[in-house]
Amino acid sequence: MPEYDDDLRLAHVLADAADATTTARFKALDLQVETKPDMTPVSEADRAAEELIRGQLARARPRDAILGEEYGVEGTGPRRWVIDPIDGTKNYVRGVPVWATLISLMEQGEGGWRPVVGVVSAPALGRRWWAAEGSGAFTGRSLTSATPLRVSSVSRIEDASFAYSSLTGWRERGGLDGFLRLSDDCWRTRGYGDFWSYMMVAEGSVDICAEPELSLWDMAAVAVVVQEAGGTFTGLDGRPGPHGGNAAASNGLLHETLLGYLGD
């Protein structure tokens, strides 16, 4: 199995640089925010962080392609870095500290594209999570100060904690009834939202989570962290990986049950 130590170290360097950029503008009174054509907000910090990451990748990995939320695809080849400069922009622009930079490396193989490195850095929370294929998942301040991640062993939905982002998308998808049944049957539900739900699955404090509408840059980094922590990450149709336009993540033991409530 290939080793991704150098790529993981680079992803941490990229995350450090992005953290400095995003935290410098967090809660700034003169932060510039625009509305994109899809009616979602984008701030000057989103664009600045992605530009910074792209510039560093161009120097460190000139042969690799890049896909980012704000500036699209650049380059071709069997390796592609996938970037969400600020996952949780709506939180960011309102001063809510639940946002993160997501950085993933994906490789193309016989089974298609798969994430092999992922870093999720949430500087306003003082948290960072990361993983590389075959090397496990970790959380901590740095590569040298890390704690291994492991999903929970909860095996009954009645004992499970379920994390989600909002009700709106489930209503639009026609899946609100299943969502409400799942919420009723679980031990606990909380709307942590965005990247944080998946990182809680990876560290075992939440057992299941799902979102009805996502982009690849929302999922690539969190998918590899969940999987390397021993969990399962699929689309709502059960297809493995971050390619379905939506996501279901679990400790593995509850995955089929989760899809039974919310799946296609």
pLDDT tens for each residue of the chain, 264 residues long: 578 999 999 999 999 999 999 999 898 877 888 776 666 778 888 899 999 999 999 999 999 999 998 888 999 989 999 999 999 999 998 999 999 999 999 999 877 899 999 999 999 999 999 999 999 999 998 888 899 999 999 999 999 999 998 888 898 888 899 999 999 999 999 988 899 999 999 999 999 999 999 999 999 999 999 999 999 999 999 999 999 999 999 999 999 999 999 977
How much is the pTM? 0.94
Q: Minimal CA–CA distance to 116: which of 129, 132, 137, 102?
A: 132
**C-alpha–C-alpha distance, residues 49 and 14, integer Å:** 9
Classify residue 191 as exposed, middle or buried by CB count within 10 Å of its CB (0-12, 13-18, 19+): exposed
List phi, psi (to 5°) of 203: -95, 0
* Tokens 């593995």 belong to residue: 252
Q: What is the pLDDT of residue 117?
A: 98
Q: Hey, what amino acid is at 54?
A: R
Residue 141 burial class via C-beta count within 10 angstroms: exposed 0-12, middle 13-18, buried 19 and up: exposed
- In one letter, which amino acid is 183? S
**CA triplet 168, 169, 171: central angle to 5 degrees?**
65
Vertex 242: Cα angle to 10 and 78 (nearest 5):
55
For residue 38, the model assigns a pLDDT of: 66
